[in-house]
């Protein structure tokens, strides 16, 4: 056993509300783990704690052997991340976004230029590298974000609903890159998604979280056997139920709405 | 160091690329110079104040710096919304460095905007009496830029959306501008008003800038400089601390 992420008795409370309730799990080096759960189950909160963006209330997290609370800089160097919502600077070009990331992660100039070229070619954006990102489509932005997350050669790649809102062609393409990275570089992949067929196809192992607790984890075949169902989607619904979850709109969601209504500044 | 530099460079690139913002921001100072400058000019002269354009120009330069700098700081809210803030916060870079790079970038932008307005003032009829003090004028312009960018950053660190923006404009930025001595001399005011102006950092910036460009001063260079340096250091510390508390 060779765990690259180990989470022990992790709890996160916002005031009286417990978002993540005493969970423990491990991710093996080089595996692809799908972290599934209904809206508001605690997926994003867990990812935020794993990536040092939120302090933990109780418990401990080791990422690549470093503690997220006491060694945040070492942890941050160990992973790349693609967030649920875009995190590019729209006014900068693709190349400048990559350059910015490389400098922020302390990648030396020569190496940085080599890797940026390699990665932009990998995600087929090299020809349009000098265009401002605001001209890019949703799929192109996602590809750029994945490429950006890899400049500093992370050991782990976090993907929070990476394929949300993309067409099937782009989704297939993205997973091809990701699986290739996993195979060729032994990169550990930790992702969340609401598309069960994606998780079934790509992941080596599944963990399902609901109401802040991990209710089950294992291989897809094991989950199907456990629930006596034919597909992961059926297994998922059987485990977490059919009712729709409410998730209060955060200030950030409202702001995003306002942006849609008013258009660009 | 690299992180501070690239953050600074980013702010400059964003400014340079949004031409509409650049020119839009010039409308207000030009309006103030033309409408107020020529409108109040005759009265000001009759009252024995001399050329109103000469009095007003440093105030209008300070105004454009104030608005650009505050907006530059508050822009963090947009970074938060567009998600770019997260990209910077998960990087292995200290938040102090991020905040410093941002603030220096925003301050440079506000400073450049001030230079452009200075040239416009010269075109409209503003005359600098002595060029010996020009470096001092530039120094004061930069201090105003730095202070108000850091001030905007500190405020924006505590906000999650733009809802509070009108509140900040009407209850903070506008009073700071109107009670700074940019439009009228700070001498012979009702005592309550006078006390308020003494607590306004911009009053010292305007005073120093006006003095350096050849106008009449109220506080004197030394005092202006000391107050501005002190409040700038204080706000950088407070803003830096607030920035480390941001959660996304």
- Whether residues B161 and A258 touch (CB distance < 8 A) is answered with yes
Which residues does A contribute to its contact with B (CB < 8 Å)? 48, 51-54, 72-74, 76-77, 81, 83, 85-92, 96, 99-101, 103-106, 132, 251-252, 254-256, 258-259, 265
Least confident of A128-137, A172-181, A195-204: A172-181
Least CB–CB distance from A53: residue in B5, B17, B248? B248
To the nearest whole angstrom, how far is the Cα of B84 from the nearest Cα of chain A? 4
CA closest to A132 among chain B residues: B17
Average pLDDT value over all residues in chain A: 89
Q: What is the pLDDT of residues A179-224, one digit of tens each?
A: 998 998 899 999 999 999 999 999 999 999 999 999 999 999 999 9
As given in the structure block, the two tokens for residue A131 are 């265009």
The distance of Cα A212 from the centroid of its chain, to the nearest Å, equals 18
Average pLDDT value over all residues in chain B: 92
Mutate to test the interface with B, among A103, A164, A250, A256 (most CBs of B within 10 A): A103
Least CB–CB distance from A251: residue in B82, B90, B160? B160
Q: What is the pLDDT of residues B41-64, one digit of tens each?
A: 999 989 888 889 999 999 999 999
- Whether residues A54 and B80 touch (CB distance < 8 A) is answered with no
To the nearest whole angstrom, how far is the Cα of A254 from the nearest Cα of chain B? 9
Q: Is the pLDDT of residue A253 over 70?
A: no
- Grade residue A263 by pLDDT with cuts at 50, 70 and 90: very low
What is the per-residue pLDDT for A255? 57
To the nearest whole angstrom, how far is the Cα of A131 from the nearest Cα of chain B? 13
Least CB–CB distance from B84: residue in A88, A132, A254? A88
Q: Is the pLDDT of residue A251 over 60?
A: no
User: What does the alpha-carbon distance between residue A154 and residue B8 come to, in Å, rounded to a whole number?
Assistant: 26
Q: Is the pLDDT of residue A145 over 80?
A: yes
- Grade residue B21 by pLDDT with cuts at 50, 70 and 90: confident
What is the per-residue pLDDT for B130? 79
* Sign of the alpha-carbon torsion through A255, A259, A265, B2: positive
Which residues does B contribute to its contact with A (CB < 8 Å)? 2-3, 5-6, 10, 13-14, 17-18, 78, 80-84, 86-93, 160-162, 247-248
What is the per-residue pLDDT for A163? 87
**Percent of chain B topping pLDDT 70:** 100
What Cα–Cα distance (Å) separates residue A115 from each residue in A86, A97, A99, A104, B235?
22, 13, 10, 15, 39
CA closest to A50 among chain B residues: B90
Domain extent, residue A88, equals: 3-262
Q: Is the pLDDT of residue A100 over 80?
A: yes
Q: Rg of chain A's alpha carbons, rounded to an integer?
A: 19
What is the per-residue pLDDT for B247? 80
What is the per-residue pLDDT for B50? 85
Q: Indicate the number of domains in chain A.
A: 1
DSSP string, B114-126: HHHHHHHHHHHT-
Complex ipTM, two decimals? 0.88
**What is residue B18's three-state secondary structure?**
coil
- Grade residue A85 by pLDDT with cuts at 50, 70 and 90: confident
Mean pLDDT, residues A27-48 = 92
What is the per-residue pLDDT for B160? 82
* Sign of the alpha-carbon torsion through A205, A209, A214, A215: negative
Q: Residue A254 in contact with residue B80, Cβ under 8 Å?
A: no
Mutate to test the interface with A, among B72, B83, B85, B109 (most CBs of A within 10 A): B83
- Whether residues B247 and A104 touch (CB distance < 8 A) is answered with no
As given in the structure block, the two tokens for residue A234 are 């059926």
Q: Is the pLDDT of residue A70 over 60?
A: yes
- Whether residues B6 and A77 touch (CB distance < 8 A) is answered with no
What is the per-residue pLDDT for A246? 65
Mutate to test the interface with A, among B91, B97, B101, B102 (most CBs of A within 10 A): B91
- Whether residues A91 and B5 touch (CB distance < 8 A) is answered with no
- Whether residues A77 and B92 touch (CB distance < 8 A) is answered with yes
The predicted model scores a pTM of 0.87
| Spatial CA neighbour of A143 closest among A126, B88, A115, A111 | A126
As given in the structure block, the two tokens for residue B201 are 């950092």
- What is the number of CB-based contacts under 8 A between chain A and chain B? 83
To the nearest whole angstrom, how far is the Cα of A232 from the nearest Cα of chain B? 32
- Chain A residue numbers with beta carbons less than 8 Å from the beta carbon of B161 are 251-252, 254-255, 258
As given in the structure block, the two tokens for residue B114 are 């001030």
DSSP string, A193-243: -S-HHHHHHH-SEEEEEETTEEEEEE-HHHHHHHHT-SSHHHHHHHHH-SP
Q: Is the pLDDT of residue A36 over 60?
A: yes
Mutate to test the interface with B, among A47, A66, A100, A101 (most CBs of B within 10 A): A100
As given in the structure block, the two tokens for residue B128 are 């600098």
Mutual angle of helices B95-124 and B52-74, in 10-degree steps: 150
Q: What is the pLDDT of residues B104-151, one digit of tens each?
A: 999 999 999 999 999 999 999 898 887 888 999 999 999 999 999 999
**Percent of chain A topping pLDDT 90:** 68
What is the per-residue pLDDT for B113? 95
User: What does the alpha-carbon distance between residue A232 and residue B130 come to, in Å, rounded to a whole number?
Assistant: 79
Q: Is the pLDDT of residue A257 over 90?
A: no
Least confident of A168-177, B110-119, B168-177: A168-177
User: What does the alpha-carbon distance between residue A219 and residue A240 come to, in Å, rounded to a whole number?
Assistant: 17
DSSP string, A101-129: HHHHTT--HHHHHHHHHHHHHHTT-GGGT
Write the CATH number for A142. 3.40.50.300
Q: Is the pLDDT of residue A261 over 80?
A: no
Mean pLDDT, residues A244-256 = 61
Q: Is the pLDDT of residue A46 over 70?
A: yes
Least confident of A162-171, A186-195, B91-100, B110-119: A162-171
């Amino acid at each position: 056993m060779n765990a690259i992420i180990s989470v022990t008795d992790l709890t996160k409370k916002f005031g009286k509300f417990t978002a993540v309730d005493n969970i423990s799990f491990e991710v093996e080096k080089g595996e692809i783990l799908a972290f599934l759960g209904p809206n508001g189950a605690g997926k994003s909160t867990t990812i935020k704690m794993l990536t040092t963006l939120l302090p933990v209330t109780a418990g401990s997290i080791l990422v690549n052997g470093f503690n997220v609370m006491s060694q945040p800089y070492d942890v941050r160097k160990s992973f790349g991340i693609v967030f649920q919502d875009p995190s590019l600077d729209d006014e900068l070009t693709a190349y400048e976004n990559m350059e910015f990331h490389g400098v922020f992660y302390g990648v030396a100039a020569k190496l940085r230029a080599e890797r940026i070229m390699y990665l932009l070619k990998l995600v087929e954006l090299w020809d349009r590298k000098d265009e401002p990102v605001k001209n890019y489509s949703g799929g192109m932005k996602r590809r750029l974000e994945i490429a950006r997350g890899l400049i500093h050669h992370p050991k782990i790649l976090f993907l929070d609903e990476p394929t949300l809102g993309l067409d099937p062609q782009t989704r297939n393409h993205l997973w091809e890159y990701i699986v290739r990275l996993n195979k060729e570089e032994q990169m550990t992949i930790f992702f969340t998604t609401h598309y069960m067929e994606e998780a079934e196809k790509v992941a080596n192992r599944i963990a399902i979280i609901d109401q802040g607790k991990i209710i089950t984890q294992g291989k897809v075949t094991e989950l199907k056997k456990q629930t006596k169902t034919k597909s992961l989607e059926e297994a998922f619904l059987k485990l977490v139920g059919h009712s729709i979850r409410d998730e209060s709109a955060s200030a950030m969601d409202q702001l995003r709405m306002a942006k849609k209504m008013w258009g660009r500044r | 160091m690299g992180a501070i530099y690239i953050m600074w460079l980013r702010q400059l690139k964003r400014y340079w690329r949004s031409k509409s913002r650049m020119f839009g921001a010039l409308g207000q100072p030009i309006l103030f110079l033309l409408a107020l400058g020529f409108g109040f000019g005759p009265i000001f002269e009759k009252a024995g104040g001399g050329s109103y354009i000469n009095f007003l120009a440093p105030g209008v330069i300070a105004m454009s710096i104030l608005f650009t700098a505050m907006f530059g700081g508050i822009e963090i809210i947009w970074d938060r919304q567009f998600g770019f803030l997260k990209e910077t916060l998960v990087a292995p870079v200290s938040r102090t460095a991020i905040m410093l790079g941002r603030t220096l970038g925003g301050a440079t932008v506000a400073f450049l905007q001030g230079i452009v307005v200075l040239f416009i003032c010269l075109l409209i009829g503003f005359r600098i009496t002595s060029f010996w003090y020009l470096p001092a004028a530039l120094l004061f312009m930069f201090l105003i830029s730095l202070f108000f960018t850091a001030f905007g950053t500190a405020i924006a660190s505590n906000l999650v959306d733009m809802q509070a923006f009108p509140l900040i404009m009407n209850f903070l930025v506008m009073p700071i501008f109107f009670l700074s001595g940019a439009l009228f001399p700070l001498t012979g005011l009702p005592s309550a008003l006078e006390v308020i102006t003494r607590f306004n950092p911009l009053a010292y910036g305007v005073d120093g800038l006006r003095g350096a460009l050849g106008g009449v001063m109220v506080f004197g260079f030394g005092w202006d400089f000391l107050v501005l340096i002190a409040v700038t250091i204080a706000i950088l510390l407070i803003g830096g601390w607030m920035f480390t508390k941001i959660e996304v």
